Amino acid sequence: MAFGLVFFTSSIIAYTSALLIPGFTLALGFLLGGIVSPPDAVAAATVLKGMKVPKRLMTILEGESLINDASSLIVFRFALAAVLTGTFSMQEATGQFFMVAGMGTVVGLAGAHILYVIHRFLPTTPPIDAALTVMTPYILFLCAEQFHFSGVMAVVSGGLFMSYRAHEVFKTGSTRLNMLGVWTTLIFVMNALVFILIGLELPEIIRGLGSYSIADGIRYGLIISAITIVLRYLWVYPSAYIPRWLSAKARRDPSPGWKGPLIISWAGMRGVVSLATALSIRFLWTTV
């Protein structure tokens, strides 16, 4: 789901929007597909909070979100390059994707090992540990981007490694409580900031519609949203049952039934990553 569903959604949205919207190229379609393809685990977890949802389903949703943001942003990156250069090759983009994503993962793990040594063996304090965890994503991202690899994959892989080793690095309760407070506040502020920026940008977006009317924008938006929802159903149900048909080992796991895939399909709300990616287009366009 983290890779296959993102590519499936991006590709279908790209070709559909190119056929549906006048003047929309395939490169612009992949740009749109990269924006709308990643679901938001925070939104899903918030909606499902307090409900009796099996832990297995929550693990799938949260695990999907760890990687799908990275894969969608890499699709977005290649699509933006295609829009700016006017050329797009699916074969070349696919090969570059795996190289950029793989080497970004390598850089992230290498940097995380260095930061692990700092946390583990140097005389740090809870405030220093919290400050380092805030700095770590930026350090990993900039290091990977310096070599033209995926900074997002570097951050994801480095974060997974540090999370896996957290019980060795952050041993005291005061350190863990301090970091929990810091990151809870940061996540709240960042989420709020992105939605505020969307509201501030809305008048500018409406003025930028050009020859399209507001009704056209709403219609295209509803169609793209409906296609995105349907595509998730078309991916989730087969991926839940086909492995059980092909593998005896998979059949030993509890049957997903029809309710589990239904919840996973409906829990594909889009959130902050899609909003932030859309907001970045103008900045990236002008800087490039």
Contact 70, 150 (CB under 8 A): yes
At 279 the pLDDT is 78
Place of tokens 């930061």: 115
Mean pLDDT for all residues in the chain:
82
At 107 the pLDDT is 93
pLDDT tens digits, 76-89? 877 887 777 776 66
* Domain range annotation of the chain: 4-287
Does residue 77 or residue 9 have the better pLDDT? 9
Examine the pLDDT at 284 and tell me if it is beyond 60: no
Q: Which residues lie closer than 8 Å to 84 by C-beta, 6 or more apart? A: 285, 288
Q: Which of 79-83, 111-115, 248-252, 258-262 has the lowest mean pLDDT?
A: 248-252
Examine the pLDDT at 25 and tell me if it is beyond 60: yes
What backbone phi and psi angles, to 5 degrees, belong to 52? -85, 65
At 201 the pLDDT is 79
Reported pTM? 0.74
d(CA 190, CA 164): 24
Q: CA nearest 63: which of 91, 44, 89?
A: 44
